């Protein structure tokens, strides 16, 4: 949440990895605190979800983006922040994912196409169906049920294919970030900008 990166920097962190964060009921990590860390020579990595978004927004200042999701946002082939959003369970259940984020939908459908499990027409209909659903309602059952162009007999088979060939791109990118952190000493973030201590930062 907001303030966590600043606190880590002030406690002496030399490398920070940002993967995910809440945004609906609490303030997320602030760009300003990332810039603060970079200005202090801290290597700041981002991937997978909130981390990918912030890395795409701050990479010009030295934040290091990791993974496919970051690359898509950085190249602007993906632009909707909501594509990484999902509904999850409480801490007591390990924050288990309840819905499927759009980035994982796209990765799963692409993988199924590559392996010849679904055709291009089905892929297009499934992607359109998934994107039309609010992130809190986007489950594989809902995606397939919302796809009226696909016959009911094939729908059951598609649901099985999607569930059995699920690609968790967010997890893959998060694992890549953790691996990058193990070699964080090799990164030397540039500090070619002057950190501006605005009134909001000073009053924070």
Q: Which of 63, 59, 84 minimizes the C-alpha distance to 173?
A: 84
Per-residue model confidence as pLDDT tens digits over 10-69: 898 999 999 987 766 677 788 888 999 998 889 999 999 999 999 999 999 999 999 999
* Tens-place pLDDT, residues 53-88: 999 999 999 999 999 999 999 999 999 999 999 998
pLDDT 10s digits, 110-153: 999 999 999 999 999 999 999 999 999 999 999 999 998 888 88
Q: What is the rounded distance in angstroms from the CA atom of residue 169 to the CA atom of residue 56? A: 17
Compute the Cα dihedral for 68, 70, 71, 76 and give only its sign.
positive
Give the domain extent around 121: 91-168
Helix (H/G/I), strand (E/B), else coil: 46? strand
Section 194-200 average pLDDT: 74
Instruction: Supply the pTM of this predicted model.
Output: 0.89
Residue 113 within any structural domain of the chain: yes
In a shared domain, residues 51 and 146:
no
* Same structural domain, 105 and 59: no
Model pLDDT, residue 153 = 84
Q: Same structural domain for residues 77 and 133?
A: no
Q: Is residue 201 part of a domain?
A: no
3-class SS at 29?
coil
Same domain, 124 and 143: yes
Q: Are residues 95 and 111 in the same domain?
A: yes
Question: Is the same domain home to 9 and 54?
Answer: yes
Do 119 and 182 belong to one domain? Answer: no
pLDDT band at 187 (very low <50, low <70, confident <90, very high): confident
Q: Are 133 and 164 in a shared domain?
A: yes
Q: How many structural domains comprise the chain? A: 2
Indicate the Cα dihedral angle 89, 95, 97, 99, nearest 10°: 40
Residues 79 and 178 in one domain: yes
């Amino acid at each position: 949440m907001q303030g966590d990166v600043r606190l880590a920097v002030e406690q002496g962190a030399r490398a920070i990895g940002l993967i995910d964060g809440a945004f609906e009921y609490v303030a997320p990590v602030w760009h300003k605190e990332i810039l603060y860390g970079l200005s202090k020579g801290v290597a700041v990595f981002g991937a997978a979800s909130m981390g990918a978004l912030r890395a795409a927004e701050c990479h010009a200042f030295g934040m290091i983006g990791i993974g496919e999701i970051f690359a898509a946002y950085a190249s602007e082939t993906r632009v909707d922040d909501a594509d990484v959003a999902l509904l999850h369970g409480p801490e007591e259940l390990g924050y288990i994912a309840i819905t499927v984020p759009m980035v994982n939908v796209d990765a799963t459908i692409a993988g199924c196409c590559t392996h010849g499990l679904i055709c291009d027409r089905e892929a297009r209909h499934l992607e359109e169906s998934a994107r039309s659903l609010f992130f809190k309602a986007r489950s594989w059952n809902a995606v397939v049920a919302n796809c009226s162009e696909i016959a009911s007999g094939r729908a059951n088979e598609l649901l099985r294919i999607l569930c059995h060939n699920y690609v968790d791109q967010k997890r893959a990118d998060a694992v890549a970030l953790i691996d990058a952190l193990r070699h964080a000493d090799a990164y030397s973030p540039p500090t070619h900008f002057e950190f501006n201590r605005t009134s909001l930062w000073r009053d924070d």
